[in-house]
Amino acid sequence: MMTSSWPKIILFGDSITQFSFGEGGWGAFIADKLQRKCDVVNRGLSGYNTSLAKLALPRLLPKSQIPQVSVLTLFMGANDAALEELYPQQYISVSSYVANMKAMIDYLQEGGLEASKIVLITPPPIYGEGWKKHCQTTYGVAQNRTNANTGLYAKACCTVAKDLGIEVLDIYTIMQQEPKWERYLLDGLHLSPDGNQFLGEQLWKMLEPKTRDLPMQLPDWKDVDPNNPEEALLK
51 tagged catalytic: no
Q: Pick left, alpha or beta for residue 218 (phi over 0 → left; psi -120 to 50 → alpha; otherwise beta).
A: left
Active-site residue among 14, 80, 134, 190?
190
d(CA 42, CA 11): 5
**Nearest one of 32, 73, 69 to 53, comparing CA atoms:** 73
Catalytic-labelled residue, pool 39, 51, 170, 187: 187
Half-sphere exposure (Cβ direction) of 159: Cα atoms closer than 13 Å: 11
Please say whether the beta carbons of 50 and 92 come within 8 A: yes
Q: Is 187 a catalytic residue?
A: yes
- Is 106 one of the annotated active-site residues of the chain? no
CB-side exposure of 149: number of CA atoms within 13 Å? 18
Enter the DSSP assignment of 139.
Answer: I
The residue type found at 204 is W
Q: Which phi and psi (to 5°) does residue 120 adopt?
A: -90, 145
Q: Residue 145: which residues within 8 A CB-CB, separation 6 or more? A: 78, 81, 82, 83, 87, 126, 131, 189
Residues carrying an active site annotation = 15, 187, 190
